[in-house]
Structure 1
Amino acid sequence: MDNRFGDMQIFLAVAQNGSFAGAARELRLTPSAVSRAIARLEARLGTQLVSRTTRALALTAEGEVYRARVAGLVAEIDEVERGFGHEDEAPRGPLRINSSVPFGTQCLLPILPRFQLRHPGVTVNLALADTLVDLVEERADIAIRIGPLRDTGLKAKKLGRSAMAVVASPGYLQERGEPRHPRELAAHPCLQFSFRRSIDTWPFRIDGALVQRPIEGAFLGNSGEVVRMMAVAGGGIARLGRFHVAADLAAGRLVEILQDCNPGDYEDIHALYVGHRRLASRIRAFLDFLEAELVLPGA
């Protein structure tokens, strides 16, 4: 891997100490590692920077010029890096957040104005999509994930969990009747997801046993919000997170059914981010804000 900045630091340490051994002690490297770094640097520049003899080490004329030019550059880079993530520095800069549509609309957007009031130097860029994105490829700082986590190598901060509920609109239940037992779902259109595995069964607790009940329907939505809106419109029965349908239940747009058979399962909600030794202050501030301010409706 090309580590030009590291090679510059090693060269400056050699120039300061007057020897490979002294630079190695300062940087906690081996003398051979220091020697290889200088050799790489000279090969890349196509010129000799250090004059070596059995008794002494000195910079060549080209080495002196190079030292003068890179010393300020390395100092400036060090200063920039010290500024990022510093404990007493106000968070600033762009903060890119990726979230599912339901979580973004129901949980994030209502509290984001408070975050911006506290951290006016941070520019929030929120993208809502129910498809999974690669944080690195999409240049996202934080992604909110609902459900089981994949082993992605990312850091995860648990934000909470949401219980599940089977719901339908009052108009639908008036027209089609309310199922009193999970087996009666066979006579009803159940709204499914097009992006989840095991979309053809719902779990229920029947006579103390956990049972996966097959469901059928002629509608599949590519997001939780699509399925929720279809349920509100009277298109069938849905199974969604309580945080997603809490406002609809409170307003009477949806009604929870089959509560006696609810297995009590939950979906965990996490904030994922790329872990660094010194996390950017804007990312750390938002994670702390979520921990303090996030309230999951109906959880």
Structure 2
Amino acid sequence: MSRLAPEIAAFMRVAERGSFAAVASETGYTSSGVSRMITRLEDAIGAKLFFRSTRLLSLTPEGETFLPRARSILESIEIACGELSDVAEIPRGHIRLNCGTAYANHRLAPHLAKFTALYPHITLSVSVADHRIDPVADRADVTIRVGDLVDSGLIAISLGSVGRVIAASPTYLAEHGEPRTSQDLLKHNCLLLNGFPHQATWPFREEGQATSVAVKGNLTSDSAETLLHLAVSGAGIVRLGDFLGADALASGRLVPLLTRIHEPGEQPITALVQAGRQSVPRIRALIQFLKSIH
């Protein structure tokens, strides 16, 4: 089956993209060439993998059954090749990366052009979500997490850390005043991220004592990016990751608050990879690149 690795890879990408043409555009093959690769694979295993029509390309029941097995076969081949390959091997293939909005827009996106220039044979699909996905069920090759980890059975690779800052816009502060103590926050509208209840409790150290305040507000979102824009527009006070607020703070669109007593709560930024996959050349190249931008 290993001799059919290119055909298996093509099968998986066609199943994901839904057309021969889409896979052809990213691999350099023609649509008919991709179709012939699928036909060779079907002949080898003795079953049709796709229903084909002029308007529809979908997996047959046999294709649905074969897909997870194909993925396992290809991953085993890639891991073995990665462990044996010379470091000078050119990384190639497709990577599925998942991360949160703030990381995607303010840490990752500004550097991706450099990554694609360094590794022209790697294609990258970035899935952005502020809720925590299941990396295995969602088939993410690399998942970036900010904060404590709860996943088991995954390789955790440290990328760096992020602190937090409390801030509001000059417009909000002109209308509502600036909080001087942590308790003053109880009189203010605070912007909160859905799905992370612990982030509604903001930590401080006042007069040598660790304290915390459970803040409230009339606006919440499942997007950290949205909270940033709400804060800049004057909707309330926000506590956000330092790299997310860096540009707004530098330009004066946001003003840092309570800096002498606020605990920034440094948290790790971690890349999660399924065991063994970190040795696949393209995964290894991405991890090394992510470390370099922190």
- TM-score, normalising length: structure 2: 0.70
Hey, what does 2:276 align to over in structure 1? 276
Alignment map for 1:279-298 (pairs within 5 Å)? 279-292=279-292, 294-295=293-294
C-alpha RMSD of the superposition: 2.2
* Cα distance change, pair 266–217 in 1 and its aligned pair in 2 (3 A): same
Is this contact kept in 2: 1:83–1:89, CA < 8 A?
A: no
Matched with 2:19 is: none
- Where do 5+ consecutive residues of structure 1 fail to align? 6-77
After TM superposition, list the pairs within 5 Å mapping 1:135-174 onto structure 2. 135-174=135-174
Taking the TM superposition and a 5 Å limit, the aligned residue runs for 1:248-263 are 248-263=248-263
> In the alignment, which residue of structure 1 is the partner of 2:126?
126
Deviation of 1:84 after TM superposition, in Å, equals 4.8
Residue 81 of structure 1 deviates from its aligned partner by 7.0
For 1:27-42, list aligned pairs within 5 A: none
* 3-state SS of paired residue (2:279): coil
Cα pair 1:205 1:211 within 8 Å, conserved: yes
Aligned length: 220
Q: Which residue of 2 aligns with 1:266?
A: 266
Runs of 4+ displaced beyond 3 Å: 78-85
Which consecutive unaligned segments of at least 5 residues does structure 2 have?
3-75
Listed one character per residue, the Cα deviations across residues 40-73 of structure 1 (whole Å, up to 9, x for unaligned) are xxxxxxxxxxxxxxxxxxxxxxxxxxxxxxxxxx
Deviations for 1:179-207, whole angstroms, at most 9, x for unmatched residues? Answer: 11111111110111111022442111111
Deviation readout 1:256-278 (Å, 9 max, x if unpaired): 01111112421211011102177
Q: What is the Cα deviation at residue 233 of structure 1?
A: 1.0
TM-score, length of structure 1 as denominator length: 0.69
Question: For residue 273 of structure 1, what is the amino acid of its counterpart?
Answer: V
Counterpart position of 1:242: 242
C-alpha distance in structure 2 between counterparts of 1:282 and 1:94, whole Å: 8
CA distance in 2 between counterparts of 1:249 and 1:213 reads 23
Q: Which amino acid in structure 1 is aligned with residue 256 of structure 2? A: E
**CA distance in 1: counterparts of 2:289 and 2:194, whole angstroms:** 33
Give the Cα separation in 2 of the matches to 1:136 and 1:167.
36
Query: Is residue 79–residue 280 contact of structure 2 (8 Å, CA) maintained in 1?
Result: no
Q: The residue matched to 1:260 in structure 2 has which SS?
A: coil
String of CA shifts for 1:211-268, please: whole Å, max 9, x gaps.
0112111111112112111111111001111111001101111110111111242121
Please name the residue that 1:117 is paired with: 117
Judged with a 3 Å threshold, the aligned counterparts in structure 2 of structure 1 residues 290 and 218 are, in CA distance, closer, same or farther, namely: same
CA distance in structure 2 between the partners assigned to 1:226 and 1:288 by the alignment: 30
- 1:180 and 1:136 map into 2 onto residues whose CA distance is 46
Preserved contact between residue 144 and residue 272 of structure 1 (Cα < 8 Å)? yes
State the AA in 2 paired with 1:226.
T
**Judging changes above 3 Å, is the alpha-carbon distance between structure 1 residues 135 and 146 closer, same or farther for their aligned structure 2 residues?**
same
Shift of 1:109: 0.6
Match of 1:93 in 2: 93
Native 8 Å contact 1:168 1:238 kept in 2: yes
Query: 1-side partners of 2:271 and 2:100: how far apart?
Result: 11
1:147 Cα deviation after fit: 0.6
* Aligned residue number for residue 187 of structure 2: 187
DSSP 3-state at the match of 1:111: helix
* Partner amino acid, structure 1, of 2:96: R
* Counterparts of 2:201 and 2:79, CA distance in 1: 51
Secondary structure in 1 matching 2:126: strand
The answer to whether the 8 Å contact 2:278/2:284 transfers is no
Task: Trace 1:38-77 onto structure 2 (pairs within 5 A).
Answer: none
CA distance in 2, matches of 1:140, 1:134: 8
State the one-letter code of the partner of 2:142.
Answer: I
Quote how far apart the aligned CAs of 1:82 are: 5.6
- The secondary structure found in structure 2 opposite 1:102 is helix
* Amino-acid identity (%): 36
Aligned counterparts of 1:267 and 1:81: Cα–Cα separation in 2: 31
Assess, with a 3 A threshold, how the Cα gap between structure 1 residues 202 and 137 changes in structure 2: closer, same or farther. same
